[in-house]
């Protein structure tokens, strides 16, 4: 009897399951009979941060343990707004407008320094603060020094997570930043004095300003300084502003970092007039790869494509009256006019990475119209003051070479989301 009841219950359960399976499905119409409305949002205020004066670690003689202080004074070159330097020596400019472009706000800074342990010319474009970014120029080996500039332009405190990709391990650290605070962080202890590493920074969402300062000495002589803005991983891109000197004593050096979990194939092309150099590299997952580039004298347009996102940077060494160097990062294609203020008499490097010619108009005191042939670049002398390039599809950088040293300013587009965003509200 018990066995019969169990079989009867099991059969009933099967019938119930089958009835649910074969029952007609309830169809829910996507039309909820609601009224559709559109709403527009204004973009966030446009902001730029300049790090200010360079830092000197260990004092003038390098013997003051734990000492890290600013030295000298940076010169700020603003377009579109006026701003006063901050108490810490940096500069924060912000403007609220529906229009978003370098015409609204564009800033860069330069600093020439000549001290026993810190000498050369450092310059950088002052980009918008961001929640994350990469630096590939880390070097804490003998005679080299890397200092991270971190600034919090927000009205609330935040924490920045740092991740250093070393040869054999990944080192992590957390840096608290109070509202409005700017910190200088020597990376020698975190990097284990390695001569080649990548740095990634990230916050929980609030933007920070980040720059890497690099210094080199040979014996008792300072041999260069650089101030590098962050870069980001890309699948494809271009780099303009790499000008190899006639008397170059060191080949340009490429660094590529693969932040992904699988190896990446990278194809890099260097174009200098009729000369063409192709470099193919396989970059293992989570690895920083370094390679010297055999390039001729003159300006080389670097273009690259990868099977997945990679971050890259190229170092260039130059001899003026002193040794100096710069790390260049991929630059953005400008689809509308670029505005900035030139820090002095210098050279404007313009490039066309596309397969069709483009026309641009350069205004610097006087105006001149130029045609950029496909996959080519031109170098134009510009004077100090207001500089604008009108056109679409071009790359641009400022190549500065003087008795003070060597530096490259690489402009970026200034734009927050919101110019043409529409939100559907049901």
**Among 50, 52, 91, residue whose Cα is nearest residue 70:** 52
> What mean pLDDT is predicted for residues 10-24?
42
């360079």: which residue's tokens? 54
- Give tens-digit pLDDT for 273-331: 888 899 999 999 999 999 999 999 999 999 999 999 999 999 999 987 789 999 999 99
For position 8, what pLDDT does the model report?
A: 42
User: How would residue 97 be classed by pLDDT, with cut points 50, 70 and 90?
Assistant: confident
**Among 358, 344, 348, residue whose Cα is nearest residue 397:** 348
Sheet holding 106-115, edge to edge: 75-79, 106-115, 118-125
Residue 334 DSSP one-character state: B
- Give tens-digit pLDDT for 145-194: 999 999 999 999 999 999 999 999 999 999 999 999 999 999 999 999 89
pTM summary value = 0.87
For position 38, what pLDDT does the model report?
A: 62
């649910």: which residue's tokens? 20
Q: Return d(Cα 256, Cα 80) in angstroms, integer.
A: 35
Higher per-residue confidence, 246 vs 330: 330
Domain boundaries, the chain: 46-416
- Is residue 423 scored above 90 in pLDDT? no
> What mean pLDDT is predicted for residues 367-380?
95
Q: Return d(Cα 141, Cα 206) in angstroms, integer.
A: 33
Q: Kindly state the percentage of the chain with pLDDT values over 90.
A: 73
Q: Phi/psi zone of residue 223: left (φ > 0), alpha (ψ -120 to 50 degrees), beta? A: alpha
């Amino acid at each position: 009897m018990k066995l019969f009841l169990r079989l009867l219950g099991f059969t009933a359960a099967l019938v119930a399951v089958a009835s649910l399976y074969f029952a007609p499905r309830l169809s829910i119409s996507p039309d909820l009979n609601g009224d559709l409305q559109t709403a527009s949002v204004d973009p966030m205020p446009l902001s730029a941060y300049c790090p200010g004066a360079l830092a000197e670690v260990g004092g003038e003689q390098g013997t003051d343990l734990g000492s890290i202080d600013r030295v000298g004074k940076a010169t700020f070159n603003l377009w579109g707004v006026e701003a006063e330097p901050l108490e810490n020596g940096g500069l924060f400019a912000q403007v609220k407008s529906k229009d978003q472009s370098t015409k609204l706000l564009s800033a860069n800074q330069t600093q020439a320094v000549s001290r026993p342990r810190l000498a050369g010319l450092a310059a950088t474009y002052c980009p918008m603060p961001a929640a994350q970014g990469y630096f590939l120029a880390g070097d804490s080996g003998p005679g080299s020094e890397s200092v991270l500039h971190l600034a919090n332009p927000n009205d609330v405190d935040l924490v920045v997570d740092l991740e250093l990709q070393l040869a054999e391990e990944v080192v992590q650290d957390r840096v608290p930043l109070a509202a409005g605070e700017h910190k200088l962080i020597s990376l020698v202890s975190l990097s284990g004095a390695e001569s080649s590493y990548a740095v990634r920074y990230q916050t929980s969402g609030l933007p920070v300003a980040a720059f890497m300062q690099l210094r080199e000495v040979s014996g008792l002589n300072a041999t260069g300084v650089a101030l590098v803005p962050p870069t980001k991983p890309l699948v494809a891109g271009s780099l303009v502003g790499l000008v190899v000197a006639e008397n170059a004593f060191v080949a340009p050096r490429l660094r590529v970092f693969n932040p992904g979990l699988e190896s990446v194939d990278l194809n890099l092309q260097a174009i200098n007039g009729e000369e063409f150099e192709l470099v193919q590299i396989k970059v293992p997952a989570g690895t920083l790869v370094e390679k010297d580039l055999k390039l001729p004298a003159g300006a080389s347009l670097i273009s690259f494509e990868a099977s997945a996102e990679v971050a890259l940077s190229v170092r260039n060494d130059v001899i003026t009256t002193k040794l100096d160097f710069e790390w260049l990062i991929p630059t953005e294609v400008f689809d509308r006019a670029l505005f900035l203020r030139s820090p002095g008499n210098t050279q404007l490097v313009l490039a066309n990475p596309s397969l069709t010619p483009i026309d641009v108009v350069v205004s610097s005191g006087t105006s001149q119209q130029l045609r950029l042939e496909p996959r080519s670049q031109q170098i134009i002398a510009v004077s100090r003051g207001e500089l604008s390039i009108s056109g679409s599809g071009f790359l641009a950088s400022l190549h500065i070479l003087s008795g003070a040293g060597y530096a490259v300013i690489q402009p970026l587009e200034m734009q927050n989301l919101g110019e043409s965003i529409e939100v559907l509200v049901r």
